[in-house]
Structure 1
């Protein structure tokens, strides 16, 4: 795939942070169930997983810019 500068994009593989969303929901739900607050645990897990996914995305963008 070419970027607008007609230079080939980096050959480095891209990172994905979607697993953190899934694990956050799963672990948050399990912890929430043990504390009798499944919904709050799920929302908290989703928030933490989303934060980790965003951090992976930012890290990957910086890594891709260095590889140009």
Structure 2
């Protein structure tokens, strides 16, 4: 749900900058910001997924440890 909210916010910000670029004589700074927002979104998404994967791996190791402790 958090990723979906970030996606919608990114979509709205980039659409605003792209629409603003249509009415300026030099649209390239606004294009840069609009595409930069997407780069930041993708970068943060990959960071979040890596953290989630690391957390799942730690939880699985802890579960395995606890299972081995209860068997002894």
TM-score (norm 2): 0.50
Alignment partner, residue 52 of structure 1: 37
- Could you list the structure 1 runs, at least 4 aligned residues long, displaced by more than 3 angstroms after superposition: 12-21
Aligned length: 49
| Residues 23-62 of structure 1 mapped to structure 2, 5 A cutoff | 23-30=16-23, 32=24, 37=25, 40-41=26-27, 43-62=28-47
Tell me, which stretches of 5 or more residues in structure 1 are unaligned? 1-11
Greater relative CO (CA pairs within 8 A, separation 6+): 1
CA deviation after TM superposition for structure 1 residue 21, in Å: 3.5
Please report how far the alpha carbon of residue 24 of structure 1 lies from its aligned counterpart in structure 2 after TM superposition.
Answer: 1.8
Name the one with the larger helix percent: 2
Superposition RMSD in Å: 2.1
Uncovered stretches (5+) of structure 2, i.e. residues with no partner: 54-72
Whole-Å Cα distance in 2 between the matches of residues 62 and 21 of structure 1?
A: 21
